[in-house]
Amino acid sequence: MDSTVATGSEDKVWGGGNKPLNASYGKLMMWFFLVSDALTFSGLLAAYGFSRFKFIETWPIADQVFTHIPFIHGNYPMIYVAFMTLILIISSVTMVLAVDAGHRMKKNAVIWYMFLTIIGGAIFVGSQAWEWATFIKGDYGAIETKGGRILQFVNSDTGQRAAIADFAVTIPSERINHERKNGVWFYEGEALPSFSLTEVVEGFKANPNIAIRTESIVQEGENEGEKTILTRSEALAKLKNAAQVVEGANLIHNEYGSRLFADFFFFITGFHGFHVTSGVVINLIIFFNVVLGTYEKRGHYEMVEKVGLYWHFVDLVWVFVFTFFYLV
Amino acid sequence: MAHEHKLEIFRGLWKFKSNTQKIWGVLAFLCVITAIEVVLGIWKPEGLLKSENAILGLKLLNWIFIILTLVKAYYIAWDFMHLRDEKASLRRAIVWTPIFLVAYLVLILLLEADYIYEIFKNGFVAWNF
């Protein structure tokens, strides 16, 4: 039977005994995982697109939401998130350089490049945490109507948003934060906003240069694409339906507009941030393995290549999140 | 392991001497694209935002952003994740599967969303109270 023993199977690619895709088992499995993870993110982003197209006339404008830079006051849309994108792309580059150094068996170069990658990832996660904190805290405050619509206040001369703290009047009243300790033990009221509804409404009536901006986007004419600003009488009529003061954003209320926007923001950037965090942790493990010389002994640095794939995938996802949350 | 690298991008228009050089070249290219996106995002040219210039209900500016994103994704996958150096069969299996599924999902969901939007707008449902 020795005539039938197949030694080389050049003519039968899938006949066994060779690598039809020229990739190792681990690398293939990493790719399988990445493809399925890509589908998860696509599902989330497609759901975001669904909600956005459903509420296309009232969806928040990202430029009016993410306008902050750490340590600097003022209105700077896009700048900080561009910085975050840059950080992630650069940490992706140091990762490729680590993989490349691994191919050439340069242990010290791999160590340095992996170290830089981890630092880049940490800066990115920190930036995302800051972005979340700013978004949750909010800055101007708004009013939510009974129908769940958001009414924001703008300065009618400049068109810039006006903070409720700047115009609300102070009316002495007894507003008590209902906590567990002074009521039924399992029941706790929502935290009180800094101003009561009446204070904001009275403040609005007393300040003629404050206007109300609604969620709906002007569909045609000169101001196309901008949020509608109500006339004084329309604004006063709308305020009759005011239900509560909203400051910042959470899963239920969102001073920047549609609450779905906040929900998707938390869910998608949170899921991505979780990926970055786990990527940093995995990178750390591999980093220590490199330092200990594990891959030097093994004779190849394929593990670095595999975590590299994961890390680039995280970067790839961010490119899409960046586009759909901040640009489009 | 595949140690050979294909050292040219833009279909051979830009050739590199080593893999390291190619990485820096791709970084420069990605940074330029991101810079273009950021500038367009802040500047927002009016002509690109007009609804009469929209294609398939999407403003021209948004089309530009989406296309630039896909270009960036291509170079991240091809050069950073070195799909360029993998076998064509592996590359196609990885790339076309999600592209097909995502295109289908997005098409279905966005059409449905637009339909619901029309119902809200023209139907007898009061939502803005």
Q: Indicate the residue among A204, A221, A247 that finishes a domain.
A: A247
My answer on whether A267 and A214 are in the same domain is: no
Please, what is the angle between helix A302-322 and helix B60-75, to 10°? 180
Q: Is residue A253 part of a domain?
A: no
Cβ <8 Å between A316 and B101: no
Query: Shortest CB distance from B113 goes to which of A22, A39, A53?
Result: A53
Choice among A73-77, B81-85, B106-110 with the minimum mean pLDDT: A73-77
My answer on whether A323 and A232 are in the same domain is: no
My answer on whether A122 and A49 are in the same domain is: yes
Q: List all residues of chain A from 250 to 289 with a beta carbon under 8 Å from chain B.
A: none
My answer on whether A49 and A151 are in the same domain is: no
**Confidence at residue A7, expressed as pLDDT on a 0 to 100 scale:** 52
Q: Across chain B, what does the average pLDDT equal?
A: 87
Please check whether residue A23 touches B, CB under 8 A.
yes
How many CA atoms lie less than 13 Å away from A21 in the CB half-sphere? Answer: 15
My answer on whether A127 and A57 are in the same domain is: yes
Please check whether residue A241 touches B, CB under 8 A.
yes
DSSP A324: I
Instruction: Mention every residue, 6+ apart, whose C-beta is less than 8 A from residue B19.
Output: A100, A103, B5, B7
My answer on whether A222 and A265 are in the same domain is: no
Query: Shortest CB distance from A21 goes to which of B89, B98, B128?
Result: B89
Mean pLDDT of B89-110: 95
Q: Is residue A19 part of a domain?
A: no
**Nearest residue in chain B measured CA to CA from A105:** B3
My answer on whether A221 and A162 are in the same domain is: yes
Q: Residue A44 in contact with residue A267, Cβ under 8 Å?
A: yes
Structural domain count of chain A: 2
Query: Shortest CB distance from A54 goes to which of B3, B86, B117?
Result: B117
**Nearest residue in chain A measured CA to CA from B41:** A327
Q: Residue A150's domain spans which residues?
A: 142-174+187-247
Q: Is residue A155 part of a domain?
A: yes
Strand-pair partners of A154: A161, A211
Query: Shortest CB distance from B69 goes to which of A23, A89, A319?
Result: A319
Run of H or E residues at B25: helix B19-43
Q: pLDDT for B53-70, tens place per residue?
A: 788 878 899 999 999 999
Q: Of A157, A258, A256, A143, which is closest to residue A211 (Cα–Cα)?
A: A157
**Confidence at residue A9, expressed as pLDDT on a 0 to 100 scale:** 47
Cβ <8 Å between B27 and A89: yes
My answer on whether A234 and A158 are in the same domain is: yes
Max Cα distance, chain B (Å): 66
Token output for A315: 């970067």
Query: Shortest CB distance from A23 goes to which of B42, B86, B116?
Result: B86
Q: Is residue A16 part of a domain?
A: no
My answer on whether A132 and A153 are in the same domain is: no
My answer on whether A132 and A34 are in the same domain is: yes
My answer on whether A78 and A131 are in the same domain is: yes
My answer on whether A155 and A239 are in the same domain is: yes
Q: Is residue A4 part of a domain?
A: no
Token output for A27: 């690398």
Give the distance from residue B39's alpha carbon to the nearest chain A alpha carbon, in angstroms. 9
Could you list the beta-strand ranges (E) of A142-240: 142-145, 150-155, 210-217, 227-229
Cβ <8 Å between A302 and B50: no
Please check whether residue A63 touches B, CB under 8 A.
yes
**Confidence at residue B127, expressed as pLDDT on a 0 to 100 scale:** 61
CATH of the domain at A280: 1.20.120.80
Sheet of strand A142-145, all strands in order from the earlier edge strand to the far edge: A227-229, A210-217, A150-155, A142-145, A242-246
Tens of each residue's pLDDT in chain A, 328 residues: 445 555 554 567 888 878 888 888 999 999 999 999 999 999 999 999 999 999 998 999 988 888 888 888 878 888 999 999 999 999 999 999 999 999 999 999 999 999 999 999 999 999 999 999 999 998 899 999 998 899 999 998 888 889 998 899 888 877 777 777 777 777 777 778 888 899 999 999 999 999 999 998 888 877 888 899 999 999 999 999 999 999 999 999 999 999 999 999 999 999 999 999 999 999 999 999 999 999 999 999 999 999 999 999 999 999 999 999 998 8
Q: Indicate the residue among A247, A279, A298 that finishes a domain.
A: A247
Q: Is residue A10 part of a domain?
A: no
Cβ <8 Å between B129 and A21: no
Query: ipTM of this predicted complex?
Result: 0.91
Q: Is residue A252 part of a domain?
A: no
Q: Is residue A256 part of a domain?
A: no
Q: List all residues of chain B from 61 to 100 with a beta carbon under 8 Å from chain A.
A: 62, 65-66, 68-69, 72-73, 76-77, 79-82, 86-87, 89-90, 93-94, 97-98
**Confidence at residue B71, expressed as pLDDT on a 0 to 100 scale:** 95
Cβ <8 Å between A39 and B72: no
Mean pLDDT of B98-110: 95
